[in-house]
Structure 1
Amino acid sequence: MLCRAGIRLDPARRQVVRDGSPIRLSKEEFAVLEELLLADGAVVSTEQLLERAWDENVNPFSNVLRVTVTGLRRRLGDPPVIETVTGVGYRIP
């Protein structure tokens, strides 16, 4: 079980709960959130997220990660928990 910022992620059951409310995520959103939670507050680079959440055929210059993080932020609701570290990646402080 991974927990941070009111989010509880159960990798075995592929379930996410924030402040008691279940959240449905796509496969990629789940993978990105899992990597951010595993980092325990550290910044995860965009390269690492692309490598771990998608297959090797993903174009590193596409905006697929940005779109996924935007959707993930929307699904997780307020207050926002995913922080963008410009030029580096993302983190959940």
Structure 2
Amino acid sequence: MAKPMTKSQLVTALAEEMDSDKKTATAALDSLVNIITREVSGGGAVTLPGVGKFYCRERPERMVRNPATGEQFKKEADKQVKVTVAKALKDSVND
């Protein structure tokens, strides 16, 4: 498995793709992350065409088990961030 792309590598690639400098690419990437974070934490969803959909899912209160002790206890309701990958991206990986 290949190493994940770092933020600095992503910024460099984005700057080349945008035909811009790294400062502008960093600002664009940070703005995109801030928008997605704000929208999802507020209960909304963000769809990036060709990439996927980011959204928040609420999980109900449930019984869970501690694997070390086997003890069962009640876990409070919580929220979880989910990502559904777009079909176009799935198809590009499987070709």
The normalised TM-score by structure 1 is 0.29
Instruction: Answer 1 or 2: which has greater strand percent.
Output: 2
Instruction: Answer 1 or 2: which has greater helix percent.
Output: 2
- Point out the structure with max Rg over C-alpha: 2
The normalised TM-score by structure 2 is 0.28
Which has the bigger relative contact order, CA under 8 A and spacing at least 6? 1
